[in-house]
């Protein structure tokens, strides 16, 4: 084996088509990722959808929408189908994720970035 085999522990690679031995430790389940269901903003001077539209102009086909709730909550809506997306605002960058189908048919996300106009 050699010098390097001792550096990486005693794990043995399974050959293709073999199963792990009974009683072998199993891989832990993947952690469930939790995403915010609301928009996150830390700028107190932005009080309305119009304030956001002036400071962070969205790409064509998107608009700011106020959601009916007890507190002021704002989301980004896609005009084509009405789907809404929460956003994250950090310093002068507003970001939101839009689901997108890839060429192979699987789904992923495209992160849209909007830089603030001062």
pLDDT single digits (tens) 61-82: 999 998 776 555 788 999 999 8
Domain residue ranges in the chain: 36-118
- pLDDT band for 33, please (50, 70, 90 cuts): very low
Signed CA dihedral, 112, 65, 68, 41: sign only: positive
Residue pair 94/88 in contact by the 8 Å Cβ criterion: yes
Average pLDDT of span 94-116? 90
pLDDT in tens, 37-62: 566 666 778 878 898 999 999 999 99
Signed CA dihedral, 97, 77, 85, 80: sign only: negative
At residue 39, the pLDDT reads: 66
At residue 29, the pLDDT reads: 58
């Amino acid at each position: 084996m050699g010098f390097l085999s001792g550096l990486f522990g005693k794990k043995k690679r399974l050959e293709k088509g073999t199963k792990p031995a009974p009683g072998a430790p199993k891989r832990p389940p993947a952690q469930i990722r939790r995403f915010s269901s609301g928009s996150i903003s830390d700028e107190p001077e932005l009080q309305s959808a119009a304030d956001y539209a002036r400071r962070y102009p969205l790409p064509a086909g998107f608009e700011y929408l106020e959601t009916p709730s007890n507190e002021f909550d704002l989301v980004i809506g896609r005009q084509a189908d009405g789907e809404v997306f929460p956003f994250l605002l950090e310093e002068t960058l507003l970001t939101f994720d839009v689901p997108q189908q890839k060429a192979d048919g699987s789904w992923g996300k495209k992160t849209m970035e909007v830089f603030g106009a001062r």
